[in-house]
Amino acid sequence: MTHARRAARRLAVVAFAAVAARGAAAQAPAAGTVRTDTLWSQALGARKELVVYLPPSYGRDRARRYPVAYYLHGAGGNETNWTQKGELATVMDSLVAAGMPEMIVAMPDGDDGWYTTYNTLVDLAACKRMLPETASPEHDCVAWPHYDDYVAYDIVAHVDKAYRTRADRAHRAIAGLSMGGYGAVALALQYPRTFAAAASHSGVLWPMERAPEPFTQALARPASDSAGLAARRTGKPAEQFRLIFGADSAAWIARDPLHLFDRAKARGAQLPALYADCGTEDFLVVENRAFRDALAARGAALAYAEYPGAHTWTYWRDHVAQSLTWIATHIAR
């Protein structure tokens, strides 16, 4: 058993015990506070919402400063998903009651922006065409779609100013699910001086290629030319991907997590610690395995785990304790 797999198993045991303790406790653990902030983002040219979890001691210990974990939502989601659907605040309270160090958790609204700078500056009409039918163009179409700078600069600066944080790389991590899993890993590798660790649940970690059903085939390296890339992207989502990731392979490769890893390593950056998990019935599991294997071939460490489950909130709710526990070991020491 590899070191990464042993580490992931130990994390699963610790996190499971903490969540089990929540259900078995005769008295509810001390509760943290959840609040919603509104901030102006210079990177987007828009006002955005941010949900913030403050740990139980935050209101009592006025001198104490806290590490921060940033949690990103998936496509079609918003800043409330992690607390309302993922029960993150309840899980955090239980983990803290079981002995995990306290952290602030900040959950920004990322629209369907893929946490990157769009390859094309879109107008309102183009933005409306690419959005899912459930989205609101008035909310999700911004003036300047720089969603990477929005998180790494605007959100981080707001949290460090508004709350008592330990405002340095060593005490800052980022995590997310699906689109947010991609965002967490990509942002940590793009801004390695900002984030010390990144965790992905069911992340889009091999974005240039999709595995055909039943999602058991191994993936080759992504398309090396624009024609090959175009052949793999069809239908309504293709419009969104073309505008955000670009129509040519060079633009996609520039946003590819593995390329971002190679680029950060080549320039001698201090690489973030990385964690990923995925459900064995998830359509992204082959992508996650490809990313795991590519990092292993580079001699890079990745805490990796697979659990039964699909691309659902049941899976993410059941396993958010794993990423929170893993993150605490890296930024809350």
DSSP per-residue letters across 22-72: HHH-SSPPPP-EEEEEEEEETTTTEEEEEEEEE-TTTTT-TT--B-EEEEE
Decide which of 66 and 219 is more confident. Answer: 66
pLDDT attached to residue 134: 65
Strand-strand pairing, 46-54 and 273-279: unpaired
pLDDT attached to residue 123: 77
Kindly state the average pLDDT of the residues 244-272: 92
Rounded CA separation 242/284 (Å) = 20
Rounded CA separation 280/178 (Å) = 14
Look at the pTM and tell me if it is higher than 0.75. Answer: yes
pLDDT attached to residue 26: 46
For domain 3-331, give the CATH superfamily.
Alpha/Beta hydrolase fold, catalytic domain (3.40.50.1820)
Decide which of 71 and 21 is more confident. Answer: 71
pLDDT band at 20 (very low <50, low <70, confident <90, very high): very low
**What's the pLDDT tens digit per position in 145-165?**
999 999 999 999 999 999 999
